């Protein structure tokens, strides 16, 4: 398992789904439901680190454009991914923060 490749694939899937079909993220959270009027139009910065047993920490930073707002906000988000028996990952923990200047 290449942590950087898994992190990049996860982040691409997560934010593409977030923009296009937010309810499609529910399966990543094992019974969670997300709803918001924000999108992430710019490619985020990604850092990853493997954790035992077979999990991964993924740290993302980028810009968040809120509906009706002229200026994007800086954000950071950390995902703690854990493997499933089927070979994919689910989000065990998720920390999101708006970074106000």
Q: What is the pLDDT of residues 24-56, one digit of tens each?
A: 888 887 654 555 556 665 667 888 899 988 999
- Across the range 70-99, mean pLDDT stands at 91
CATH code of residue 7: 3.10.450.50
What's the mean pLDDT when you consider all of the chain? Answer: 84
What is the Cβ-side half-sphere exposure of residue 98, based on CA atoms within 13 angstroms?
Answer: 8
pLDDT at residue 37 in the model: 56
Six-digit token string for 23: 């309810």
Least confident of 7-21, 41-55, 82-96: 41-55
Report pLDDT for 32. 44
- Integer Cα distance of 100 and 36 in angstroms: 19
**Given the DSSP bridges, would you call strands 38-39 and 55-66 parallel, antiparallel or unpaired?**
antiparallel
How many domains are there within the chain? Answer: 1
Which structural domain, as residue segments, surrounds residue 79? 3-99
Percent of the chain scored above 70 by pLDDT?
85
Q: Among all chains, which residue has been given the structure tokens 């106000």?
A: 100
pTM (2 decimals)?
0.73
Residue 72 phi, psi dihedral angles, 5° rounding: -75, 155
Q: Which residues contact 18 (CB under 8 A, 6 or more apart)?
A: 25, 34, 39, 40
What the block records as the tokens of 13 is 């899937």
């Amino acid at each position: 398992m290449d942590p950087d490749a898994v992190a990049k694939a996860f982040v691409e899937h997560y934010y593409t789904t977030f923009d296009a079909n937010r309810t499609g993220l529910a399966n990543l959270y094992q019974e969670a439901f997300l709803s918001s009027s924000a999108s992430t139009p710019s490619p985020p910065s990604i850092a990853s680190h493997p954790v035992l047993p077979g999990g991964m920490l993924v740290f993302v930073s980028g810009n968040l454009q809120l509906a009706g707002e002229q200026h994007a906000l800086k954000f950071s988000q950390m995902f703690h991914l854990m493997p499933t028996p089927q070979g994919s990952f689910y989000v065990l923990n998720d920390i999101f923060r708006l970074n106000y200047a």
